[in-house]
Structure 1
Amino acid sequence: MTGFFLRWLLAFALLAASFNPTGYSYYGWAREAFDSELPMVVLAGLLLLVGYIIYLRATLRSIGAMGMVLVLAIAAALVWVLHDRGLLVLREGAARVWLGLGILSLVLGIGLSWSHVRRRISGQSDMDDVGD
């Protein structure tokens, strides 16, 4: 279980490092430093891109696009229920952004962890395609 939370936390860190409402993110920094520090902006962007490729490729291989949509739909329905019951109030834009980052990181965390979950449930290991 701690492995899943670590993968989820790393996915959240990747997303929050890219964009968040505080302004302390790649997006905020790149907008200000684009003209003066273009090489650093490009390098940091490429490093973030590598992180996204790792997470997205693993997620697509493990749960697929339909699985990603299903996890997003379940999370959206849960947010809807919590909001409908008055347990979740989303008046501020920043709260909605953080919630969105949390949900997207949940999708990526589940995608990266799904092979481990499947192996524990079924006792079978997933193998990558030999041709890749």
Structure 2
Amino acid sequence: MGFLARWLFALALLTATYNPTEYNYVQWVTQYGGQNLSIAVLAGLLLLIAYIIYLRATLRSIGGIGMALILAVVGAMLWVAYDLGFLRLDNRNVNTWLGLLALSLVLGIGLSWSIVRRRLSGQADVDDVDEV
């Protein structure tokens, strides 16, 4: 599973939780969660498990500082795109999608970073398992 798959799953996880459309967990629970409480709880727990897996792997591989640096680089790229006139920030929905993309990049890079570091340096992390 390459970086693209990890990033797309992170994006799917974030957008399944919240996005500017009406098709997300937050909107569904707000409108219909009381009628389907057991399904709402099950879906929420599944989302929570996925977030724990992604956040734990990201924090272990790049840490809080690495997460902040990736967000800073993405923010700087958005700033450049805004300054050059490629991006306008007056649309709230576009801003939400940009935030989701930025967060999904952090999670995707975080989940892939140990693999990239091992390939670049040849050194395995202490908690890595031998691969066949």
Tell me if both proteins adopt one fold, taking TM over 0.5 as the criterion.
yes
**Paired residue total:** 129
What whole-Å deviation, never above 9, does each CA across 1:9-28 have from its counterpart, x for those lacking one?
00000000000001100001
Percent identity between matched residues is 59
What does 1:1-132 correspond to in 2, within 5 Å?
A: 3-128=2-127
Distance 2:91 2:73 in 1: 23
Letter in 1 for 2:66: G
Matched residue type, 2:98: L
How far 1:90 moved relative to its partner? Answer: 2.3
Deviations 1:8-56 (A, max 9, x none): 0000000000000011000010101121111110000000000000000
Shifted more, 85-94 versus 24-33: the winner is 85-94
C-alpha distance in 2 between matches for 1:108 and 1:127 = 21
Q: CA RMSD, aligned part only?
A: 1.5
Give the TM-score of the pair, scaled to structure 1.
0.93
**CA-to-partner distance for each residue in 1:71-109, whole Å, 9 max, x for gaps?**
111111110111011011222110000000000000000
Q: Name the aligned partner's letter for residue 51 of structure 1.
A: A
Q: Which amino acid in 1 is paired with 2:71?
A: L
Amino acid at match of 1:20: N
Unaligned runs of 5+ in 1: none
Moved more, 86-95 or 10-19: 86-95
